[in-house]
Amino acid sequence: MAMDRWRLGAPERRQLDETPLVLIADTAHGPRIEAANRAGAAAGARAGMMLADARTLCPEIATAPSDPAGDLAFLEKLAVWAQRWGPWSAMDAPDGLLVDVTAVPHLFGGEEKLVADVAAAFARRELAVRCAIAPTAGAAWALSHYAASGTILGACDDAEARLGELPVAALRLDQDVVTVLRRLGLKKLGELTTIGRDAIQRRFRNRKSPAANPLIRLDQLLGLVPEPLLPVVPQQMPLVQRRLLEPIRHRQLLDQVVSDLADDMARELEGRGEGARRLEIGLWRVDGEVTVRRLELAAATREAAHIVRLFASKLDDIDAGFGIEMLRLRASWAEPLALDQGDIEAAAETHGIALSALVDRLAVRLGAQAVTRPVPFASHIPERAQRWQPPLEPEPASQGQLAFHKRPLKLLDKAERIAVLYATPDGYPQRFRWRGEVHEVNRVEGPERIAPEWWRERGATRLRDYYRIEDQRGRRYWIYRLGIVGDGRGGAPDWYLQGLSA
């Protein structure tokens, strides 16, 4: 994969195909070979070999730096691209892909034609590939690496007999475990079953990792124990796609295909009695690049025109390159949506569809985080008593607001420290200075004591005594004293102004 990726996108690099070439990485012991082209391999270079050793075999060998991070990013893109053959795929780093093709081969005319389509698609991208189809991921990996490319193992085939001639390295074991098995004289998979499970269990009883325990790998190979793979994409999610006979490059044609996909998705959702909350549209370009745009809706919907309008602004910066050959629309999040139709206008008023459409348009234009609404939060600390959430999300369950807790109409974003003249130790405020202006206190109400939230704050946090006060001009403020004299949690109390009344 490293050498194939290195060749892509640079025609001048293909001129080096006949020249011994290796990709190297710097190590503490000197440059080490990470990949070699065919000419380099023919000259004796191997992955893992030190460059100095390779130069003794082939002095004229050319070098280029390897890029492991780039290889991994390329493999990730390749995994997305490979979803054209199945609903989900997983990476098998550094150079493998696992694609679930369950119930898919009939779409390509059978498993043989599916394998041929895979080989042709990789050949168009100038990538070497070895593929296999098997009932388990372990068996597919073993066949793709140690059997002829394109091998197919059916569910009705005798897996033990078909896989028995493969070497023990086909179990995806660590190299030291493979070495131990070879020293024991076990070179093929079929030989593992001849000596009995107890003997192998005793030898590897302390190995808990699948890559270090041959029995675990053997059971995974035969499907006796499950092997979880990531990412796991639910197969039940609504998905529609269009494979185009001719790649499209113009926006008008792209909008038409998106509209067709939206109609298909609406019918798919209607048949399931659901509405989409999150949609993902993927665009596969001829050169292998995949572009994905996501859309999250405020409320479940299956209105095709609404979906098309929202995606329109997200496709403005799409670069079609040499053309887009496939589009896929997937509802990764869907919720039940009633099938009753009745009066459309009345339904919109009842279910808030018009409001949700407005919220969706604002979210697409301003950003998903820009459209929110405040909701009460269970906290007696004023600045924590409200939080922001998506506009149409239901309010979280909380206790009702106590009626005798009077709060000002406006809370400052952050309480501002003020200087207060008051009778110590805990008398009423008589005068205070805020933002350079001195205010005489005419009326005082309070205090209302609010204790710290012990379950969230440190033990040294001081309590607050809140006062509602009115100055000489009739303006009303909400101030508090942080702490009391002698509470042992600090020096003299500090005063803050936190709210303004009408």
DSSP state of 85: G
Task: Report how far residue 347's alpha carbon sits from residue 162's, in angstroms, rounded to the nearest whole number.
Answer: 61
Say how many residues make up the chain. Answer: 502
**Residue whose pair of structure tokens reads 């998903």 in the numeric block:** 368
Looking at residue 98, its amino acid is: L
**Residue 24, phi-psi category: left (phi > 0), alpha (psi -120 to 50), beta (remainder):** beta
- Smallest CA-to-CA distance from 488 within 460, 455, 463, 456 is with 460
Looking at residue 374, its amino acid is: P
Task: Report how far residue 43's alpha carbon sits from residue 37's, in angstroms, rounded to the nearest whole number.
Answer: 10
Peptide bond into 493 cis (omega under 30): no
Q: What are the structure tokens assigned to 38, written together? A: 């065919």
Q: What is the largest CA-CA distance in the chain?
A: 99
The H or E element spanning position 498 is: strand 494-500
- Listed in sequence order, the residues at least 6 apart from 35 whose beta carbon sits closer than 8 Å to its beta carbon are 1, 2, 3, 6, 22, 23, 47, 66
- Smallest CA-to-CA distance from 64 within 134, 5, 145 is with 5
CB atoms within 10 A of CB 130: 17
CA 86 to chain centre: 19
pLDDT at 257: 92
- Smallest CA-to-CA distance from 426 within 497, 381, 481, 478 is with 481
**Residue 501, class by beta-carbon neighbours within 10 Å (0-12 exposed, 13-18 middle, 19+ buried)?**
middle
Q: What are phi and psi of 71, to 5 degrees?
A: -65, -40
Inter-CA distances, 49 with 18, 30, 89, 176, Å:
21, 11, 32, 18
Task: Report how far residue 155's alpha carbon sits from residue 165's, in angstroms, rounded to the nearest whole number.
Answer: 18
pLDDT at 115: 92
- With contact defined as beta carbons under 8 Å apart, do 297 and 360 qualify? yes
Task: Report how far residue 479's alpha carbon sits from residue 493's, in angstroms, rounded to the nearest whole number.
Answer: 13
- With contact defined as beta carbons under 8 Å apart, do 30 and 50 qualify? yes
Beta bridge partners of 331: 279
Task: Report how far residue 433's alpha carbon sits from residue 471's, in angstroms, rounded to the nearest whole number.
Answer: 11
pLDDT at 112: 92
DSSP string, 165-234: TSBGGGG---HHHHHHHHHTT--BHHHHTTS-HHHHHHHTTT--SGGG-HHHHHHHHHTSS----SS---
**Residue whose pair of structure tokens reads 């190995």 in the numeric block:** 207
pLDDT at 196: 77
- Smallest CA-to-CA distance from 107 within 243, 271, 269, 287 is with 243
- Smallest CA-to-CA distance from 259 within 236, 273, 242 is with 242
Q: What are phi and psi of 46, to 5 degrees?
A: -135, 150
Helix (H, G, I), strand (E, B) or coil at 72: helix
Q: What are the structure tokens assigned to 126, written together? A: 């100038």
- Smallest CA-to-CA distance from 197 within 219, 179, 175, 177 is with 219
Average pLDDT per block of 10 residues along the chain, 502 residues long: 72 77 86 88 88 88 88 86 86 87 88 92 88 91 90 86 87 87 85 80 80 86 82 69 88 90 90 88 87 86 88 86 89 82 53 72 81 82 82 71 68 90 84 90 87 78 88 90 81 89 74
